[in-house]
Structure 1
Amino acid sequence: MSKQTVFITGGAGFIGLHVVPLLLDKGYRVRIFDNMFRGDRDQVAKLAATGDVELVDQDVRYGGAVHAAMKGCDLVVHLAAVSINKSQADPYESIDINMVGNHNVFAAAADHGVKRLVFASSASVYGDPKKLPMHEDDRLDPLTPYCISKRAGEDLLAFYQRSKGLNWIALRFFNVYGPGQKPTAYYTSVINHFVKRLKTGQPPIIDGRGEQSMDFIHVHDIARSVVAALEAEQGNVPVNIGTGIDTSVATLAEILIKAVGVDVEPQFNPREVLVSRRAADITRAREVLGWEPTIAVEDGMTDLIKVEVA
């Protein structure tokens, strides 16, 4: 039986480079579609040396290129996107890449009759949650062009499901972190800020009382969820991917202080902050994907510091 081929947009980026090795371990061939603006050519070259990975150096904004490159592929993973902070700084580029790119990939997948499309959606589709844990059926209230494009992406998938029978799963990633992440990443900027100060023996500075929280999920567990979503029996649903645990900024500071091994106390900057908390309800991930997280925040953050300091 010939190997199935997975078409993966943004496959040379942070999450993609954690997904591709898992796909190879499972016996898939992989076609990476990436404009290499932020992609890692050296890592892609190493993966290509296996003989089961090829790179199409192109942009999701060009529908003809997407359609041509997807020919012969069995499954699709769509990761390519412009980040949250970039989407606010440049809404035009964000809409172009995230909205037009989404549509080009989904339309091509529907035309080619792929077995399953897995879309990297985001917990940001919920906006500021009214209750915890956050469930897939909660009200959606996306606040930035990035978040809006993720919600619209899910709606577009439903359109192609109805009109052409496209089978999909949208993974609503919570706060992804891990080795290989760019220091400018929106949700990890607080980690980088703390680590920078701790490395020079300075205490981390926390706004307010540090009660604002995030659901930090390790990129290895994110990659596992993508593979599980490609192979799940049930489709056509959004699925939260997080740990189900909200880690406050104050707790994060304590974890990082311990990991770096410095004797400092956090400093609190007394000012008003909009306290927001995030934690995923991951019941559906367990039921639909047979997935749950394997890396605890404290372990993942400690390992990340070891890599940073090494």
Structure 2
Amino acid sequence: MSDKKVFFTGAGGFIASHVIPLLLEKDYTVRIFDNMTRGNRDRVNEFVATGKVELVEKDVRYGVGVREAIRGCTHAIHFATVSINKSVADPGESIDINMVGNNNVFAAAADEGVERLVFASSASVYGEPEKLPMHEDDKLNPLTPYCISKRAGEDLLGFYERTKGLSWNALRFFNVYGPGQKIEAYYTSVINHFIQRLRAGQPPIIDGAGDQSMDFVHVTDLAKGVVAALESEQANLPINIGTGIDTSIATLAKILIEAVGVDVEPVFNKRDVLVSRRAADITRAREVLGWEPTITVEEGMRALVRDSE
């Protein structure tokens, strides 16, 4: 067995299911730490069957359980979190899981001598950007308990770095999409909603002029960024993981209409909407991680349509 072992919270989820195969290819063993309330048990069982992955079915809110499970691990990836929409509906649970959970994992990693911790942060720490592309040194303005906990998580990593020498990278994920994603995923549910309507021969409905944009990054590319952050020489930085391209909702609709192959035009629901735009400056990801995306939005969306048939 390899002497490289990753403690991986929230690893029953969508993104982790793309990261774990890359870790196994690089000869890591993996200890999944997940309460499995939303985890994909079938997929986790497939990983466990390899003999290189084990499941500890516990909650990050319980510090003793975290401490026991992280012991003996050389690396850590912390994905366990409560989503944006759930954090607004129930701020108490969000603070409990996201803030207390963050501290439990970071403190245990520091005390147990983990060589590198990778934290799933979020582009949502920026709030509404003042300019594009969004750079890691831009002003942060997190707006929901989820976003606030991500920013606080980055600050907490800095504390454990200063006091106990913890080595970390915080990845600010932009709009992640790809095969295996739940259809209600907050930032990318628009993709699944459009595909469902197009399959039924109905046009996608867009609020306003469709100027709102996202930076869609394919989960295959993003997973490579996670592994690169686990192994990079440089550390202790927040790093954007996106494509640098802002794809408007109107453009997304056109891409998906073409991919599904139906003859419809989007319907624009004329009303005032907050035009939010997203695009990552990925200079730091290139320089620090040697990472950049390889899958264009057009390619990724076509593959998603094919996979969902």
TM-score tier (shorter): over 0.9
1:30-45 paired onto structure 2 within 5 Å: 30-45=30-45
Provide the residue aligned with 1:155 in structure 2: 155
More displaced stretch, 183-192 vs 209-218: 183-192
Provide the residue aligned with 2:215 in structure 1: 215
Provide the residue aligned with 1:21 in structure 2: 21
For structure 2, list consecutive stretches of 5 or more residues without a partner in the other structure. Answer: none
For structure 1, list consecutive stretches of 5 or more residues without a partner in the other structure. Answer: none
SS at match of 1:187: coil
SS at match of 1:132: coil
The whole-number CA distance in structure 2 between the counterparts of 1:3 and 1:184 is 38
Deviations 1:34-85 (A, max 9, x none): 0001111111111111111000000001000000000100000000101111
Provide the residue aligned with 1:106 in structure 2: 106
The whole-number CA distance in structure 2 between the counterparts of 1:263 and 1:274 is 29
The whole-number CA distance in structure 1 between the counterparts of 2:183 and 2:256 is 16
The whole-number CA distance in structure 1 between the counterparts of 2:2 and 2:240 is 32
SS at match of 1:141: coil
Provide the residue aligned with 2:129 in structure 1: 129
Amino acid at match of 2:268: F
Amino acid at match of 1:41: R
Amino acid at match of 1:51: G
The whole-number CA distance in structure 2 between the counterparts of 1:50 and 1:205 is 44
Deviations 1:193-245 (A, max 9, x none): 21111111010011110000000001111110010000000010000000000
Amino acid at match of 1:123: A
1:134-283 paired onto structure 2 within 5 Å: 134-283=134-283
The whole-number CA distance in structure 1 between the counterparts of 2:259 and 2:106 is 42
Q: How far off is 1:122 after superposition? A: 0.3
The whole-number CA distance in structure 2 between the counterparts of 1:153 and 1:24 is 27
Provide the residue aligned with 1:305 in structure 2: 305
Amino acid at match of 2:196: K
SS at match of 2:188: helix
Please tell me whether residue 12 in structure 1 is matched to residue 12 in structure 2: yes
Amino acid at match of 1:273: V
Misfit runs of 4+, over 4 Å = none
Q: How far off is 1:188 after superposition? A: 1.1
The whole-number CA distance in structure 2 between the counterparts of 1:44 and 1:197 is 31
Q: How far off is 1:101 after superposition? A: 0.5
SS at match of 1:186: coil
Q: How far off is 1:3 after superposition? A: 2.7
Amino acid at match of 1:193: H
User: Is the 2:127–2:143 Cα contact (8 Å) retained in structure 1?
Assistant: yes
Q: How far off is 1:192 after superposition? A: 1.7
Provide the residue aligned with 1:74 in structure 2: 74
Amino acid at match of 2:19: V
User: Is the 2:116–2:168 Cα contact (8 Å) retained in structure 1?
Assistant: yes
The whole-number CA distance in structure 1 between the counterparts of 2:301 and 2:2 is 40
The whole-number CA distance in structure 2 between the counterparts of 1:75 and 1:28 is 9
Count of aligned positions: 309
The whole-number CA distance in structure 2 between the counterparts of 1:295 and 1:153 is 29
> Share of identical aligned residues, percent?
74
Q: How far off is 1:2 after superposition? A: 4.1
The whole-number CA distance in structure 2 between the counterparts of 1:268 and 1:28 is 49
TM-align CA RMSD: 0.8
The whole-number CA distance in structure 1 between the counterparts of 2:105 and 2:3 is 22
Deviations 1:148-194 (A, max 9, x none): 00000000000000110101000000000111111111111211221
SS at match of 2:55: strand
Provide the residue aligned with 1:96 in structure 2: 96
The whole-number CA distance in structure 2 between the counterparts of 1:260 and 1:85 is 29
The whole-number CA distance in structure 1 between the counterparts of 2:2 and 2:191 is 44
The whole-number CA distance in structure 1 between the counterparts of 2:111 and 2:60 is 16
Task: State the TM-score, normalized to the length of structure 1.
Answer: 0.98
Q: How far off is 1:295 after superposition? A: 0.8
Task: State the TM-score, normalized to the length of structure 2.
Answer: 0.99
The whole-number CA distance in structure 2 between the counterparts of 1:92 and 1:65 is 21
More displaced stretch, 298-307 vs 119-128: 298-307
